[in-house]
Amino acid sequence: MRPLRITGDVGGLPDHAFGPASLGWWGTVGFMLIEGMAFVLATGAYFYLMSNESAWPPGGQPPSLMYGTLFTVLAILSEVPNVWLSRRTHAGDVAAIRIGLWVMVAIGVVLMVIRGFEFGALNVRWNDNAYGSILWALMLMHTVHIATDLYDTIVLAAIVALHEPDSRKRSDVADNVMYWHFVVVTWLAIYVLVYLLPGHTK
């Protein structure tokens, strides 16, 4: 009887992949699930605090819409170059990848500047009351996500600018694109909480 062979030569298999076939993709998805749950918990706290007040925000003015809306419009528009970068990455277009990454870096920097003005237009400090605390917590959580993606994009842009990106590195770029989708989508939900719900009374 021949012994059962449970090993094999995998040397011919590729060492990279896009999407669910990539370990990096699963890591990014797991990261988004963990962070998404943090947003869910913060949202629950937001609604709990709101349910205990007769007016929201309590004893103050709601945030100014200008900077938050400007941020939202730019974030939505950023999906155009982001999707384009994804397609060029899968196509292996190195020149387009280099351009697209630096475009996303520029967008991230502009959004961070606008976010700075947003904090000044919230019309409440983080330590004024519970409303201010949860409002600033939501904003800071999302700002950390922008900063995280911006840092990652800068690193990728520098690497790709200095070295010809192989398939493994292009897979990293694709994962970075996916994470930016998460940043934009989560902001749309937070925008409703921060800018559209305040100002209404029970």
pTM here is 0.84
Residue 135 pLDDT exceeds 90: yes
Widest CA span of the chain, in angstroms? Answer: 83
pLDDT at 60: 76
pLDDT at 185: 96
Cβ atoms within 10 A of the Cβ of 143, count?
A: 17
The CATH code of domain 23-201 reads 1.20.120.80
| Mean pLDDT, residues 59-67 | 87
| Mean pLDDT, residues 73-97 | 93
| Mean pLDDT, residues 188-193 | 94
Residue 66 pLDDT exceeds 90: yes
The whole-angstrom distance between residue 107's C-alpha and the CA centroid of its chain comes to 13
The ranges assigned to domains in the chain are 23-201
| Mean pLDDT, residues 25-43 | 90
Residue 8 pLDDT exceeds 70: no
For residue 110, give every residue at least 6 positions away whose Cβ sits within 8 Å of its Cβ, in sequence order, or none: 74
